[in-house]
Amino acid sequence: MTMGSIFHDMWDIFVEYYIGQGLLWTGIGYTLALSAIAVFFGAILGALLAIGKMSRFKALRFIITAFIEIMRGTPALLQLYIAYFIVPMLLTNLNPTPIACVAIGLMLNSAAYVSEIIRSGIDAVDKGQTEAARALGLTARTTMVKVVMPQAIKNILPALGNEFITIIKETSLASNFFVGELMTTYAVIKGVTFNPIPTLMDIGIIYFVMTFTLSKLMGIAERRMKASA
Amino acid sequence: MLNENKEVMLEVKNIFKNFGDLEVLKGVSTEVDKGEVISIIGASGSGKSTLLRCMNLLEEPTFGEVWIEGKLMTPVDPYLHYDVIKASNTYKKLAAEGMDEVDAIMKIKKEDLLQEKSGKEGSEYKSLMDKIYKENHIDTNLGRRKMSMVFQQFNLFNNLTVLENIMLAPVETAKYNKVKDLNGEKAKIREQAFTLLKRIGLEDKADVYPSKLSGGQKQRIAIVRSLAMNPDVMLFDEPTSALDPEMIGEVLDLMKELAQAGMTMVIVTHEMGFAREVSDRVLFVDEGYIKEEGTPEEVFDHPKDPRLQDFLSKVL
């Protein structure tokens, strides 16, 4: 097999399967939807975890820290397998589909990382800002809402964008459960064409175009945000 | 200064502060009277900034009391009151064994004192102390609104414009107090903010963010931000130490103006000339104690403590 024929096959497979059978759109659609759901709910849950970690209740802090450390210290694929089997057992009435289970797994994984992003974003705000606000007699809550968070957001948003890109790549793990996202198309097309290499390279290009575009868009948004401050 | 009828604004009693094993303050007591300007001097690491930060509880004292206008700000366990400990048999025993005062006070726990006063006598005593405490206590945030602080690093809120910086605390305070006509109140606060900015000649900077200002401008605005709370006492934590030399003058001039207008001020400073000029009283803090205090003439011209003499020979 020559390089020329690989490029040729890449083109053929792209035209026939990705465009012709619409696998490109369903693949990207599932991948982006999974990532968006994981990051969106992960961010909400992550914010709650970050707030909980600042709580004065030691037991709550301990549980949250343990959760975060476990999620960060074990492979995402393992977490997805566990979610895949355990979520249906926990939510028997709802009869969750495999993709819902995977989405929940990714969301919990993302929450752990997002909570650390938020925490470090808050930590990065100069302590003098809090001191000045408290010295003026503002409550801890007002200080957080009016002074610390608006500054922390500027640290948090770019990192949250990076987390979105990381999750886009991590959704490829969901192909283990054939949920239909981009990486699942590999098994589908390989099963018909018996031609793995060009298929993989097509997929690689599609992922790259997605993440590269997003990271450029985020760069523009970041510059706009800086300019407005 | 009209000190005929002396009125104590701020009082610290037996303040101890430990950072881990490090004893920074070892029993500091002093009073600040209305209209008085006090300078706190001392070498780096002597505990002078910590003392100032204990006054508004930015650092919570490990032990001791802070009183603002006759109200107690520090949460004091009635059993661990300085006088109670000193009067206890446990303390007398430790003292008789030759233990240092600081170590003994830190060592004695509530349980030791509870054992001394057993049963009914103990609980009656405790409820009396609780009652006294409740009657005298003031919420930390309320106490802080009576005394504002100016920091070495200015600490203007980076996310707010100059005007918003000045208005934030008064507006939020109005919200805490559930002021009926909030918009009317805001307009008043805004007007006051502009008056203050005019006073320092920076009204054209009202809509500018702090990052666009010079150090001297930042510090003057930080002072004005404190003034907007109409404080009874102002605390200054080395307000000129982070400034370029050519900007120190403008900040000191503003502080002098405040002193002359009768503001009660506590100033931690390295500017000895300024301290001598504006202070009614100078405290020399060293090794966690107030080693010497007196009028500027006494402290600067006739220092008694050898450590103070040594310190002055180095800085003057």
Question: pLDDT tens digits for B27-57?
Answer: 999 999 999 999 999 999 899 999 999 999 9
Query: Which of B159, B176, B229 lies closest to A147 in CB terms?
Result: B159
Q: Does A226 touch chain B (CB under 8 A)?
A: no
Q: How many CB atoms lie within 10 A of CB B130?
A: 12
Q: SS3 for B60?
A: coil
Interface list for A 64-83 with B (CB within 8 A): none
Q: How many CB atoms lie within 10 A of CB B275?
A: 21
Contact flag B141-A131 (C-beta cutoff 8 Å): no
pLDDT in the model for residue B2: 47
Residues whose CB is less than 8 angstroms from the CB of residue B230 and which lie 6 or more positions away in sequence, other chains included: none
Segment A195-208, tens digit of pLDDT? 999 999 999 999 99
pLDDT in the model for residue B108: 77
Sign for the CA dihedral angle at A190, A194, A196, A202 comes to negative
B104 pLDDT more than 90 = no
Q: Is A105 exposed, middle or buried (0-12, 13-18, 19+ CB in 10 A)?
A: buried
For residues B247 and B214, is the Cβ–Cβ distance under 8 A?
yes
How far does A100 lie from chain B, in Å, by closest CA? Answer: 40
For residues A196 and A60, is the Cβ–Cβ distance under 8 A?
no
Confidence of residue A55 (pLDDT cuts 50, 70, 90): confident
Q: Is B183 exposed, middle or buried (0-12, 13-18, 19+ CB in 10 A)?
A: exposed
Q: Does A227 touch chain B (CB under 8 A)?
A: no
Task: Name the nearest CA neighbour of A158 among A130, A105, A117, A109.
Answer: A117
B136: which 2 tokens? 């005298």
pLDDT in the model for residue B274: 95
For B171, nearest residue in chain A (alpha carbons): A138
Query: Which of A131, A138, A147 lies closest to B151 in CB terms?
Result: A131
Q: Does B172 touch chain A (CB under 8 A)?
A: yes
Residues A57-80 have a mean pLDDT of 96
CA distance A16 to A6: 15
Interface list for A 82-141 with B (CB within 8 A): 126, 128-129, 131-139
* Contacts with A146 from chain B: Cβ below 8 Å: 157, 168, 172
For residues B48 and B285, is the Cβ–Cβ distance under 8 A?
yes
Residues A118-140 have a mean pLDDT of 95
Q: SS3 for B280?
A: coil
Inter-CA distances, B82 with A105, B16, B288, Å: 56, 11, 17
Contact flag B209-A229 (C-beta cutoff 8 Å): yes
Segment B267-297, tens digit of pLDDT? 999 999 999 999 999 999 999 999 999 999 9
- Phi–psi pair at B23, nearest 5 degrees: -90, 105
Question: Among B8-17, B98-107, B143-152, where is mean pLDDT lowest?
Answer: B98-107
B118 pLDDT more than 70 = no
B232: which 2 tokens? 């009874």
Residue that wins the pLDDT comparison between B9 and B78: B9
Mean pLDDT, all residues of chain B: 90
pLDDT in the model for residue A81: 96
Q: Which helix (H) or strand (E) holds B8?
A: strand B8-19
How far does B140 lie from chain A, in Å, by closest CA? Answer: 8
Reduced to 3 DSSP states, what percent helix, strand and coil does chain B have, rounded to the nearest 5? 50, 20, 30
B1 pLDDT more than 50 = no
Instruction: Provide the residue count of chain A.
Output: 229
pLDDT in the model for residue B51: 96
How far does B54 lie from chain A, in Å, by closest CA? Answer: 11
B90: which 2 tokens? 């446990």
Task: Name the nearest CA neighbour of A16 among A192, A210, A209, A205.
Answer: A192
For B148, nearest residue in chain A (alpha carbons): A136
Task: Name the nearest CA neighbour of A105 among A162, A41, A196, A198.
Answer: A41
For residues A129 and A151, is the Cβ–Cβ distance under 8 A?
yes
ipTM of the complex: 0.86
The secondary structure of B240-258 as a DSSP string is: TTTS-HHHHHHHHHHHHHH
How far does A70 lie from chain B, in Å, by closest CA? Answer: 31
CA distance B280 to B38: 6
Query: Which of B145, B222, B225 lies closest to A137 in CB terms?
Result: B145
Contact flag A132-B176 (C-beta cutoff 8 Å): no
CA distance B308 to B316: 12
A72 pLDDT more than 70 = yes
The secondary structure of B144-174 as a DSSP string is: HHHEEEE-TT----TTS-HHHHHHHHHHHHH
* Contacts with A229 from chain B: Cβ below 8 Å: 159, 209
CA distance B24 to B29: 14
pLDDT in the model for residue B5: 65
Q: Does B85 touch chain A (CB under 8 A)?
A: no
pLDDT in the model for residue B201: 94
Segment B180-217, tens digit of pLDDT? 999 999 999 999 999 999 999 999 999 999 999 999 99
Structure-derived torsion over alpha carbons of residues B163, B164, B170, B171, reported in degrees to the nearest 10: 130
Instruction: Provide the residue count of chain B.
Output: 316
